[in-house]
Amino acid sequence: MVVFHHLPWYTTPYPNERGFIYRMPSKKVKKNEEVVSSDAPVVEAANVSDAQAVLEETPTEKKTAKKESSKKESAKKPMTMDELLASTGTVIRAPKKGSVMSGTVTDISRRMVQVDIGGKTEGVVADKEFEAAREYIDQLHVGDKINVYVVSAENERGQILLSLKKAAQDQKWDIFKKSLETGEALEVRGVELNKGGMIVTSEGIRGFVPTSQFGKAVSSNLEELLGKAFKVKVIEVDRTKNRLIFSERHVSEEALMKQKTAVLDAIKVGEIYTGTVSGILPYGAFVSVTVPLEGEKAEGKIEGLVHISEISWEKVDDPNRYLKTGEEVKVKVLSIDAAAGKLNLSIKQTNDDPWVNAKEKYTEGSVVKGTVSRIASFGVFVNIEPGIDGLIHISKIMEGEMPIVGDDISVTVESVDPAARRMSLSITPTEVPMGYK
Cα–Cα distance measured from residue 389 to residue 370, given in angstroms and rounded to the nearest whole number: 9
Computed over every residue of the chain, the mean pLDDT equals 80
**Structure confidence by residue, pLDDT tens digits, 179-201:** 999 999 999 999 999 999 999 99
pLDDT band with cut points at 50, 70 and 90 for residue 64: low
Q: Report the C-alpha gap between 18 and 303 in whole angstroms.
A: 116
Please report, as a single letter, which amino acid is at residue 33: E
Render pLDDT for 353-367 as a digit per residue (tens, 0 to 9).
899 889 999 999 999
pLDDT at position 75, please?
Answer: 55
Q: Where are the domains of the chain?
A: 2-72, 100-163, 170-252, 259-350, 359-427
pLDDT at 55 over 70: no
What is d(CA 149, CA 164) in angstroms, rounded to the nearest whole number?
6
pTM exceeding the 0.85 threshold for the entire prediction: no
258 or 28: whose pLDDT is higher? 258
Q: Residue 154's pLDDT is what?
A: 74
For 108-142, give the DSSP string: E-SSEEEEE-SSSS-EEEEHHHHHHTHHHHTT--T
Q: Let me know if the fold of 170-252 is the same as that of 359-427.
A: yes
For 119-123, 154-158, 382-386, which range has the lowest pLDDT when averaged over its residues? 154-158
Separation CA 424–CA 2 (nearest Å)? 142
Which of 31-45, 197-211, 259-273 is predicted with the least confidence, judged by mean pLDDT? 31-45
- Residue 432 has a pLDDT of 46
pLDDT digits (tens, 9 = 90+) for 79-122: 665 565 556 555 555 677 878 888 899 999 988 999 898 877 78
Q: What is the rounded CA–CA span in Å between residue 46 and residue 104?
A: 66
Tell me 226's DSSP state. Answer: B
Q: Is 33 exposed, middle or buried (0-12, 13-18, 19+ CB in 10 A)?
A: exposed
Taking the C-alpha atoms of residue 429 and residue 145, their distance in angstroms, rounded to an integer, is: 97
For residue 22, the model assigns a pLDDT of 47
**Between the CA of residue 364 and those of 55, 83, 141, 357, what are the distances in Å?**
144, 107, 92, 14
Is 209 a residue whose pLDDT tops 90? yes
Q: What values do phi and psi take at 273, rounded to 5?
A: -130, 165
Whether the Cβ atoms of residue 93 and residue 105 lie closer than 8 Å to each other = no
Q: Rounded to whole angstroms, how far apart are CA atoms 186 and 246?
A: 9
CATH topology of domain 100-163: OB fold (Dihydrolipoamide Acetyltransferase, E2P) (2.40.50)
pLDDT at 257: 79
Cα gap 315→326, rounded to integer Å: 23
Using an 8 Å Cβ cutoff, are 322 and 316 in contact?
Answer: yes
Say whether pLDDT at 266 is over 80.
Answer: yes
- Whether CATH 2.30.30.60 fits 359-427: no
Look up residue 348 and give its DSSP letter: G
The 10s digit of each residue's pLDDT in 316-354 is 889 999 999 999 999 999 999 887 778 999 999 998 889
Q: Which three-class secondary structure state does DSSP give residue 365?
A: coil
CA Rg value for the chain = 51
The class (CATH top level) of 259-350 is mainly beta
Which tens digit of pLDDT belongs to each residue from 388-409?
999 999 999 888 888 999 999 9
267: pLDDT strictly greater than 70: yes
What's residue 1's pLDDT? 47
Angle at 422 between CA 420 and CA 427, to 5 degrees: 165
Instruction: Kindly report the CATH number that applies to the domain delimited by 170-252.
Output: 2.40.50.140
